[in-house]
C-alpha cells in the first residue's frame, strides 16, 4: 500500500457521492421536504449501515425542531395518520423495513421510500419514492456504478442526502445556526 492511495481513494469516494447526489430529482426532494414539514412525527426505519445513516438524519432533523423517531427505540410512540415513515432501503426488498412500511401504510401514515430500485415491492406502498440511483443488489442498467464495496455508495449518499435536506430546511425556515444548540444533547 502506498501513501498516495489514501488521496486517490478519498477522491473516488467523494466523486461518487457527488455524482449520486446530483442524480436525485430535485422535484422529489421538494416533495419530500413538504411531507416532512407537515408531519406530526417523522419515523425512520432501515437496517445495517442504512439504519446508521437514518439515525444520523433523525438526529439532525431533531436539531431543527422536527419530532423524529427511529423505529425500535424503547420509547417509540404509536404512528398515526398524521405521521410520515421514511424507509431507507437501496433494494426496497429488505424484509424488516418493507414489513414496517406495510404496517404504517395500513395505519394510515404516509410512507416515503428512499432507495435505488424503482421496481421494488415498496413501489405499491410508498406515497413518495426518492431515488438515489446508485448500484444496488437489483443491478438495474441505469444505476451509477461504484468501485466501493457492496452498497457503501448508497449508505454514504443517504447520509449526505439527510445533511443536504437539513441545510435546505435551515435556509427555508431562516433558522439561526447558533440557536440550534438548544436542541443538542446536553447530558454528554
Query: Mind telling me the catalytic residues?
Result: 155
Q: Which residues pair with 70 in a beta bridge?
A: 44
The full DSSP string for 36-105 is: HHH-S-EEEE--HHHHHHHHHHHHHHHHTT--EEETT-TT-----TT-EEEEE-SSS--HHHHHHHHHHH
CA distance 156 to 134: 11
Would you say 90 and 50 are in contact if contact means Cβ atoms under 8 Å apart? Answer: yes
Element (H, E) at 176: none
- CA 23 to chain CA centroid, nearest Å: 15
Amino acid at each position: 500500500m502506498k501513501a498516495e492511495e489514501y488521496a486517490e481513494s478519498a477522491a473516488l469516494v467523494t466523486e461518487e457521492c457527488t455524482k449520486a447526489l446530483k442524480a436525485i430529482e430535485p422535484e422529489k426532494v421538494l416533495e419530500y421536504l413538504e411531507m416532512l414539514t407537515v408531519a406530526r412525527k417523522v419515523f425512520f426505519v432501515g437496517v445495517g449501515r442504512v439504519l446508521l445513516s437514518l439515525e444520523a438524519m433523525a438526529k439532525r432533523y431533531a436539531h431543527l425542531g422536527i419530532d423524529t423517531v427511529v423505529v425500535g427505540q424503547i420509547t417509540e410512540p404509536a404512528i398515526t395518520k398524521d405521521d410520515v415513515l421514511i424507509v431507507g432501503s437501496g433494494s426496497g426488498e429488505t424484509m424488516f423495513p418493507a414489513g414496517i412500511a406495510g404496517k404504517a401504510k395500513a395505519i394510515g401514515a404516509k410512507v416515503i421510500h428512499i432507495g435505488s430500485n424503482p421496481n421494488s415491492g415498496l413501489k405499491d406502498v410508498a406515497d413518495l419514492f426518492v431515488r438515489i440511483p446508485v448500484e444496488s443488489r437489483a443491478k438495474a442498467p441505469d444505476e451509477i456504478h461504484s468501485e466501493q464495496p457492496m452498497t457503501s455508495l448508497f449508505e454514504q449518499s443517504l447520509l449526505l442526502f439527510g445533511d443536504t435536506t437539513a441545510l435546505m430546511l435551515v435556509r427555508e425556515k431562516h433558522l439561526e445556526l447558533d440557536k440550534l444548540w438548544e436542541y443538542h444533547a446536553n447530558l454528554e
